[in-house]
Each structure stands twice: as structure tokens, then as C-alpha cells.
């Protein structure tokens, strides 16, 4: 299938977002048809009025029946014709309002449904989708591209349809009024069609490049704003300005490419009808002089020709808007058609309350953009209620291992089982709702502290929220705030320290009462004193739960029942801290270079070392 047919297919597919609006669309089309029909009356009524004026003037010049005519109809049919023109104008305005309002309502409905569909689809995408797509590109599709489709439906679509109806009706009237004049007018049609096709062929790829470049601009802007503290901390403002200026300049150049094509073809499209008008005036004037055509009908014919100019000139706008919309539709369905690697089977098993056994059997895993295994043949069993610490150098596969358990990713070989169920066969909600996560970089939403704590369990009571906050040793801080638990935190938790955000995140995980708890270096942002208090609380709360802990500190390792050492994606050793110090050279190296120094630094930071 060619690019043009694919673009048309996606434009037609977008019509699915208009489902349910059949009556609204019919009312809009009715308003459009009625308004167009009334607009076509004006030239004909003008011609009749010209003929009436000419006849009245001729009677007056000859003095024939002037007195009788004046007594009977001094103005002939002019008053009635004038009244008819006013009524037609008012009707055209009323139906024009209906068309404009209803088309915008249709467009807003479609935009609402399209954005909802995109958002819902994005919510169901797995992590590998987000690994392959930049956030700015996704935002551009959900905002800019959907907005382009709104303009197509509210303006360009109805405008094109009205122009088509007006063009066909006007052409038919012109052929009916005078076949010879109409043929003369149509002599310029082949040149006009060639211009339209040439513009359309060049404008669509240019519009695609423009939309893509706008997404690149959005990506840079989003990345810079979301990391503004890092930018300022490392004095990289000038670099980011240059980076944005580069993409912004490219967008300017793409915009000018589109503007050049419009400026090149639209004047030609506007002047070709003028050439037809010149031909009509010359040939039609001769017809009037020789008595083959009345002056009124000649005026009417020219008025219809002027009506014809509107639809012809609308073509340039429609081509521009249609090309942009075709590119936007392609980009929207590029997201909607994207399928992640993680999909839920049709008859997924809904898990009951978990015991908490986790088993990895011969697991091989790697990321989409890499040919290197992150995990290579991992076999690991974690018993219900057991706490296991995972240690290893950077890149050894620790984070990948824990992300396989809630099925954020799927292994390429092997299986991950929870309570004996392969996670690829279970209902994702029933699986993930029983796994609590506390990550190294805690994310808080722009909401109250209470809402952030109960995020994973919205129905949780205030008492449950407070109990979790106390267990995470953050309650005293929260209760000391002027608005307490109702205190709003800024974007990404701005206003709280790193340790405070981490403790809110720990409280959030505890509220969900998970059967499996995953801690990804969860106390890294907490000083040694608070870390000790948190681990003291977690020791009671983790009792009876399966806990898998990515560890970078000795206190974390000592807390676990068992330690698993990863090296190059494989389990290199496992056992208790004392056992591994005796028999694993790799663990001793990690202990000496990573675990013990980190613990000493944390204790010094907390003022516990002299």
C-alpha cells in the first residue's frame, strides 16, 4: 500500500472517534446543505432584479404605459426580489451559525475520544514501549496531532464539503444558464487540477516532517523542564539553550518549507479562476451585444462565477489542512497500533491472596535496544516470608530481576512464577496490586501528602494512612506542617527533602499491605539515624511478607535472611553475610568497595562517627 493510500486509510480510521454522533453529524450536514442552497439564490435573484430594472427603464424611456405601470407596479418585482434576498441572507447566516457550532461540537467530541483512547492505550503499554519512545514524541501526538485533527473536523472538513457542494451546484447552474459560457470557463480546469495535484503531492511529506520536528522541540522542552534542577546544578543552561535553539531552528526551516509550497501554488490557484473570468467577460459581453443573452442572466452568470471562486480558493487551505491532518493521523495511529511485549492473555488467572513464593527458572532477559543479555540463565527461589538481598556491581541485572516479578518486562526464555503461577498467564491487576515497590528515586504526585500515601489504595482510611506514616517515621514531620496530611506537595515532591520523599514512598507501599515487597535501595536518601529507625519499623512490618531488596548498604544486607550475588546476569553466589564473606571472593570485593564504605559514609553523615 502506498503512502497516499495509507494516509487516506488512517484519516478514515479516525472517523471511529465520531461514532455515536450520527444525529449531530446529520444536523451539521443539514445546516451546511441549507446554508449553501440559500447562498446560491443570491446571484439568480440579482439577475432577475437587473432584468426588472432594465425593463422598467426601457418602459420609462419609451413612455409606453408609464402611467398605468406606475399606478400598478412602479418598482415592478424589485420589492419582492429584495425581500427574498434579505430572507436568503438571514437564512444563510442562521444555518452558517448552526454549521459552525455543530462542527466544532463534533470536533470536540472526537478530540475527547481520541485523547482518551491514546491515554488508555498508553496506560496499558509495557515498559519496553516507553524505552523505545521519547516522552516528548508521545506528548506531541496526544496534544498537537489531536488538535490538528480537531481543526480538520471543525474547519477544513465542513469547509471542503461546503465548497464541493457549492462547486457542483454552481457548475450545474452555469451549464444550465449558458452552455457556451460554461465551456469557456472550464477551459482553465485542467491547469487548475494539475496545480492542485502538484501541491498535494509535495505538501504531505513536508507536513509530516513539520509535525515530527514539532515533536522533537516538545521532547527537548519536556526534558529540560523536568530536569531543570540538574541543568542549573551543573551550569548547563547555555548547552540546553543551544540544544533547544537547534531544534527550534529546524522547526522554523520545516515551517518555511511548508510556507514556500503554499506561497508557490496558492497564488497560481487564485489567478487561474481570474483568467476564466476574463474569458467569460469577453465572450459573454459579445453574447449580450448580439442579443443571445440577457444582461440580467449575464450578471447572474458572472455572480455565479464569483461564487465558484470561493470553493476553488478553499482548495489550497483544504490541501494544507488535509496534508497536516494526514500526517497527524499517521502519527496518532502509530501509537495506537503499537503493541507492547507484555500483553494480558484473554483468560488470565485472577490471583487470590498470595503466599508470596517467587521463583525464577532459567531466566534470560535483555532490553529491546540491546543484543547483550542482562540476565543469562538465572535460577532463584524466594520462599514465602523470606527476605532476600540482591547485590552486585552496576549492570549485573539487579533492577531487571525485580522488574520481571510484577511483569514490567517478560523474559525471552525461562519463566517467572509467583505461587506457582507463570506471571505471563495471570491477571496483571491481581498480580501487581499485591506487590509493593519502594524505588531509589521516589516519585510523588502534585497532590496532598495523604493522597500520595494512599495512592495505591485510594479507599484506605485516615487511620491506615497515619499508621503507615508512623511506621515510616514521617508522621511527626507531617503533623508539624500547618495543613498536616492535607499539605500539597509540588511537582515530583518539590518542597520535601530527599529523605522525606523516600519515607512518604515507603508509607505509600505499606498502605497497600503487599504480599511481596520490593525495595530498590529504599533507604539511600535517608541519614543513618533515620535509616536505623525505618529498618526497625520495617523489620516488624516485613515479617510474614516476601521481601526482595536491592542493596547498596551493609545494614540492608545484614537485615536480609539471605544474600544473592549477581555477576554478568548470573547468580554467582548466595548465602548469609558471614557465609559469603568466607567463601565468595566477589562478595568480599563488593563488601570492601561498595557496601562497607557506603555504610561508613552514611554513618558519618548522620553524625554517628567521631
Is 484 inside any structural domain?
yes
The pLDDT value recorded for residue 135 is 78
The pLDDT value recorded for residue 276 is 63
The pLDDT value recorded for residue 427 is 92
Residue 456 and residue 534 share a domain: no
Is 262 inside any structural domain?
yes
Reported as a single tens digit per residue, the pLDDT across 163-201 is 888 888 877 877 777 777 777 766 666 666 676 667 767
pLDDT at 396 over 70: yes
Question: Pick the residue with more confidence: 280 or 350?
Answer: 350
Share the mean pLDDT of the chain.
79
The CB density around residue 256, as the number of other CB atoms within 10 Å, is: 12
Query: Domain containing 556: what range?
Result: 351-434+515-604
CA distance 71 to 69: 5
Q: In terms of C-beta distances under 8 Å and separation of at least 24 residues, what long-range contacts does 462-468 make, across chains too?
A: 464/511, 465/507, 465/511, 468/507, 468/508, 468/510, 468/511
Residue 392 and residue 325 share a domain: no
pLDDT-derived band of residue 462, with 50, 70 and 90 as boundaries?
very high
Is 343 inside any structural domain?
no
Residue 565 and residue 497 share a domain: no
Is 609 inside any structural domain?
no
Residue 523 and residue 504 share a domain: no
Q: Could you give the percent of the chain with pLDDT greater than 90?
A: 15
Residue 332 and residue 394 share a domain: no
Is 345 inside any structural domain?
no
Using the 3D structure, point to which of 456, 478, 513 is the last residue of a domain: 513
pLDDT-derived band of residue 75, with 50, 70 and 90 as boundaries?
low
| Among 237-246, 266-275, 598-607, the least confident range | 598-607
Mean pLDDT within 337-363: 87
pLDDT-derived band of residue 71, with 50, 70 and 90 as boundaries?
very low
Is 407 inside any structural domain?
yes
Number of structural domains in the chain: 3
Residue 413 and residue 305 share a domain: no
User: Do strands 546-550 and 562-567 pair parallel, antiparallel, or not at all (unpaired)?
Assistant: unpaired
Reported as a single tens digit per residue, the pLDDT across 420-443 is 999 999 998 899 889 988 877 777
CA distances from 528 to 269, 448, 481, 504, 566 (A): 75, 27, 24, 17, 26
Residue 295 and residue 202 share a domain: yes
pLDDT at 38 over 70: yes
Mean pLDDT within 348-356: 92
Residue 331 and residue 356 share a domain: no
Q: What is the domain-level CATH number for residue 47? A: 1.20.1560.10
The pLDDT value recorded for residue 54 is 66
Whether residue 300 contacts residue 47, with contact meaning beta carbons closer than 8 Å, is answered with: yes
pLDDT-derived band of residue 66, with 50, 70 and 90 as boundaries?
very low
Q: What is the domain-level CATH number for residue 547? A: 3.40.50.300
The pLDDT value recorded for residue 603 is 46
Residue 326 and residue 400 share a domain: no
Residue 393 and residue 330 share a domain: no
Question: Pick the residue with more confidence: 501 or 237?
Answer: 501
pLDDT at 479 over 80: yes
pLDDT-derived band of residue 610, with 50, 70 and 90 as boundaries?
very low
Q: State the angle between helix axes of 41-62 and 295-336 in degrees (0 to 180), rounded to the nearest 10.
A: 170
The pLDDT value recorded for residue 334 is 84
User: Do strands 435-438 and 421-422 pair parallel, antiparallel, or not at all (unpaired)?
Assistant: unpaired
Is 346 inside any structural domain?
no
Residue 226 and residue 361 share a domain: no
Residue 68 and residue 133 share a domain: yes
CA distance 312 to 200: 14
Using the 3D structure, point to which of 308, 336, 364 is the last residue of a domain: 336
Is 3 inside any structural domain?
no
The pLDDT value recorded for residue 191 is 66
**Which residue do the cell numbers 443573452 mark?**
293
Using the 3D structure, point to which of 478, 513, 548 is the last residue of a domain: 513
Reported as a single tens digit per residue, the pLDDT across 42-57 is 777 777 777 777 666 6
Amino acid at each position: 500500500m502506498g503512502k497516499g493510500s495509507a494516509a487516506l486509510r488512517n484519516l478514515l480510521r479516525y472517523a471511529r472517534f465520531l461514532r455515536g454522533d450520527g444525529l449531530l453529524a446529520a444536523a451539521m450536514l443539514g445546516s451546511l446543505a441549507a446554508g449553501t442552497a440559500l447562498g446560491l439564490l443570491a446571484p439568480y435573484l440579482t439577475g432577475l432584479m437587473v432584468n426588472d430594472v432594465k425593463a422598467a427603464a426601457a418602459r420609462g424611456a419609451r413612455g409606453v404605459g408609464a402611467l398605468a405601470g406606475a399606478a400598478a407596479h412602479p418598482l415592478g418585482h424589485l420589492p419582492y426580489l429584495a425581500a427574498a434576498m434579505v430572507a436568503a441572507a438571514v437564512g444563510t447566516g442562521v444555518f452558517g451559525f448552526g454549521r459552525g457550532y455543530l462542527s466544532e461540537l463534533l470536533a470536540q467530541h472526537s478530540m475527547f475520544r481520541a485523547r482518551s483512547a491514546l491515554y488508555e492505550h498508553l496506560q496499558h503499554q509495557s515498559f519496553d514501549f516507553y524505552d523505545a519512545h521519547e516522552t516528548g514524541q508521545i506528548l506531541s501526538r496526544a496534544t498537537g496531532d489531536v488538535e490538528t485533527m480537531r481543526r480538520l473536523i471543525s474547519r477544513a472538513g465542513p469547509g471542503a464539503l461546503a465548497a464541493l457542494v457549492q462547486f457542483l451546484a454552481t457548475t450545474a447552474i452555469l451549464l444550465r444558464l449558458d452552455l457556451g459560457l460554461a465551456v469557456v470557463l472550464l477551459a482553465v480546469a485542467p491547469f487548475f487540477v494539475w496545480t492542485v495535484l502538484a501541491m498535494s503531492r509535495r505538501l504531505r511529506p513536508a507536513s509530516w516532517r513539520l509535525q515530527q520536528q514539532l515533536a522533537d522541540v516538545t521532547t527537548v522542552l519536556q526534558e529540560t523542564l523536568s530536569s531543570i534542577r540538574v541543568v542549573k546544578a551543573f551550569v548547563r543552561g547555555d548547552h540546553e539553550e543551544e540544544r533547544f535553539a537547534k531544534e527550534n531552528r529546524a522547526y522554523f526551516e520545516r515551517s518555511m518549507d511548508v510556507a514556500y509550497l503554499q506561497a508557490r501554488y496558492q497564488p497560481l490557484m487564485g489567478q487561474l479562476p481570474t483568467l476564466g473570468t476574463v474569458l467569460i467577460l469577453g465572450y459573454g459581453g459579445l453574447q449580450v451585444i448580439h442579443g443571445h443573452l440577457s444582461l440580467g442572466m449575464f450578471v447572474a452568470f458572472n455572480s455565479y462565477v464569483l461564487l465558484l471562486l470561493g470553493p476553488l480558493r478553499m482548495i489550497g487551505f483544504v490541501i494544507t489542512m488535509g496534508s497536516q491532518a494526514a500526517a497527524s493521523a499517521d502519527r496518532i495511529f502509530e501509537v495506537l497500533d503499537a503493541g507492547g511485549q507484555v500483553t494480558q492473555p484473554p483468560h488470565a488467572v485472577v490471583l487470590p491472596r498470595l503466599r508470596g513464593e517467587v521463583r525464577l527458572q532459567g531466566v534470560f532477559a535483555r532490553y529491546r535496544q540491546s543484543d547483550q543479555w542482562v540476565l543469562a540463565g538465572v535460577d532463584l527461589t524466594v520462599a514465602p516470608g523470606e527476605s532476600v538481598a540482591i547485590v552486585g556491581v552496576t549492570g549485573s541485572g539487579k533492577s531487571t530481576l525485580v522488574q520481571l516479578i510484577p511483569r514490567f518486562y517478560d523474559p525471552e526464555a525461562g519463566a517467572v512464577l509467583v505461587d506457582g503461577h507463570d506471571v505471563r498467564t495471570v491477571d496483571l491487576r491481581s498480580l501487581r496490586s499485591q506487590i509493593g515497590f519502594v524505588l531509589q528515586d521516589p516519585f510523588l504526585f502534585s497532590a496532598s501528602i495523604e493522597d500520595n500515601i494512599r495512592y495505591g489504595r485510594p479507599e484506605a482510611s485516615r487511620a491506615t494512612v497515619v499508621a503507615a506514616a508512623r511506621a515510616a517515621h514521617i508522621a511527626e514531620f507531617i503533623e508539624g506542617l500547618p495543613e498536616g496530611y492535607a499539605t500539597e506537595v509540588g511537582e515530583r515532591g518539590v518542597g520535601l527533602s530527599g529523605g522525606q520523599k523516600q519515607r512518604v514512598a515507603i508509607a505509600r507501599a505499606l498502605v497497600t499491605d503487599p504480599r511481596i515487597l520490593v525495595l530498590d535501595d529504599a533507604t539511600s536518601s535517608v541519614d543513618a539515624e533515620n535509616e536505623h529507625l525505618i529498618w526497625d519499623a520495617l523489620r516488624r512490618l516485613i515479617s510474614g511478607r516476601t521481601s526482595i531488596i536491592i542493596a547498596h548498604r551493609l545494614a540492608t544486607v545484614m537485615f536480609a535472611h539471605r544474600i544473592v550475588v549477581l555477576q554478568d546476569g548470573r547468580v554467582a553466589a548466595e548465602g548469609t553475610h558471614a557465609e559469603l564473606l568466607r567463601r565468595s571472593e566477589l562478595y568480599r570485593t563488593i563488601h570492601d568497595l561498595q557496601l562497607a564504605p557506603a555504610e561508613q559514609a552514611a554513618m558519618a553523615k548522620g553524625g554517628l562517627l567521631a
